[in-house]
Amino acid sequence: MMKFGYFLFKKKRSVVMNLKLLIPVYFLLTIVLSTCTNTSQKESFKPPAIKKLGTIDTDLVETSPVVFNGKLYRFEYVRTKYEHNKTNDSYLRFIDHESGEATPSFGKGFHLGSAFVFNDTAYVTAVDSWGGEHIAMFVSSDLVNWEQRSVLDLYGYKIYNTSLCKADNRYVLMYEIGDPPEEAGQRFTARFAISKDLINWKVTPPECNYAKDRYTAPHALRYLNGYYYDFFLEAKGDYETYETYVVRSRDLIQWEASSLNPVLKASDEDKKIANPGLSAKQKQKIAEANNLNNSDIDFCELNGKLIINYSWGDQLGTEFLAEAVYDGTLKEFLEGWFPDIED
């Protein structure tokens, strides 16, 4: 009996020991399977499908497609080096997307503008010089007559691109800074200002920024269901390529990046000719250009799809304006970049 009892004891002890060995193996397998499942789920997500149509102009960069009174327009900042600019100065204008006709120019001497439309009124923000200290706003109800307002005077700053959006009961202006170093960090960096009436503006605290640790040049700001979306230019490698990325935030302080980035990157599609009116000289310039950049994105929704403008080129002054489309709404586009992040 004692031998039999001892045998049972050994058997039971052996089973217990085996179970103890199996427990960590079980948890290890659970972690591995869970990781594989999550990886598989992430790999199943696809970024919103942007269809590049090709180049529509040369030496134009900062543009904004907008819908004004039911019609599609493209706001343009026309630089002095633009081939058809005979004024010897920069200026701003809108182009009728369908006819190609330009509105009367305005904002002479201003730079790096962007457009925003709300309640049948067009708003354009721009800086008084390249890397200026002053942001102005131009307001119009007919794209012909413009009222000029002062938005921000930031002495000691160097300000570049701007982008305006409505966020619930307020308006938020994103502006790009390169200086001072204590505010910009590594240029270029997004800062923000807030207004209730588009007249009086208040700069947000310094912690409201993106991002001081690296090159993250901001260009387009959007707001949807409690989130701000910042579409910006990310320098890759040792400034070897430049790609458009997107991050989002609830408070303009903490940001989360899309796992589906980049939004846009250089490709052969950029060099397609989307404007039959381009000259032989322009087409040759497009064909011979070095392309390592997709930047300056802006977009608007019309009839359930997005019209997108962006620029491409070498980031050294050889620049081209291109157009793209997304077959879906603005909401689908914005949320589509964050399908794997739970709110």
What number does CATH give the domain 63-271+330-336?
2.115.10.20
Flag whether pLDDT at 204 surpasses 80: yes
Helix, strand, or coil (residue 270): helix
How sure is the predictor about 43, in pLDDT bands with cuts at 50, 70 and 90?
low
Distance CA 97, CA 65 (A): 9
Q: What is the pLDDT of residue 44?
A: 77
How sure is the predictor about 343, in pLDDT bands with cuts at 50, 70 and 90?
low
Distance CA 64, CA 73 (A): 8
3-state helix, strand, coil in the chain (%, to 5): 20, 45, 35
Q: What is the pLDDT of residue 296?
A: 98
Distance CA 311, CA 318 (A): 10
Flag whether pLDDT at 64 surpasses 90: yes
Q: What is the pLDDT of residue 340?
A: 79
Average pLDDT over residues 299-327: 97
- Percent over 90 (pLDDT), the chain: 84
Flag whether pLDDT at 165 surpasses 80: yes
Flag whether pLDDT at 227 surpasses 90: yes
Q: What is the pLDDT of residue 288?
A: 97
- Give domain limits for the chain: 63-271+330-336
Q: What is the pLDDT of residue 8?
A: 38
Distance CA 309, CA 324 (A): 6
Distance CA 194, CA 205 (A): 11
Distance CA 12, CA 18 (A): 10
Flag whether pLDDT at 262 surpasses 90: yes
Average pLDDT over residues 221-248: 96
Contact 138, 154 (CB under 8 A): no
pLDDT tens digit sequence for 167-189:
999 999 999 999 999 999 999 99
Q: What are phi and psi of 47, to 5 degrees?
A: -70, 155
pLDDT tens digit sequence for 87-109:
999 999 999 999 999 999 999 99
Contact 261, 276 (CB under 8 A): no
Average pLDDT over residues 332-339: 98
Mean of pLDDT over the chain: 90
Flag whether pLDDT at 29 surpasses 70: no
pLDDT tens digit sequence for 71-85:
999 999 999 999 899
Residues in a beta bridge with 166: 171
Distances (CA, A) of 209 to 167, 293, 336: 17, 24, 23
Burial class (CB within 10 angstroms; exposed 0-12, middle 13-18, buried 19+) of 325: middle
How sure is the predictor about 206, in pLDDT bands with cuts at 50, 70 and 90?
very high
Helix, strand, or coil (residue 219): strand
* Residues 6 or more apart in contact with residue 111 via CB below 8 angstroms: 77, 79, 90, 126, 127, 128, 129, 130, 132
pLDDT tens digit sequence for 136-161:
999 999 999 999 999 999 999 999 99
Lowest-confidence region among 36-50, 120-134, 198-212: 36-50
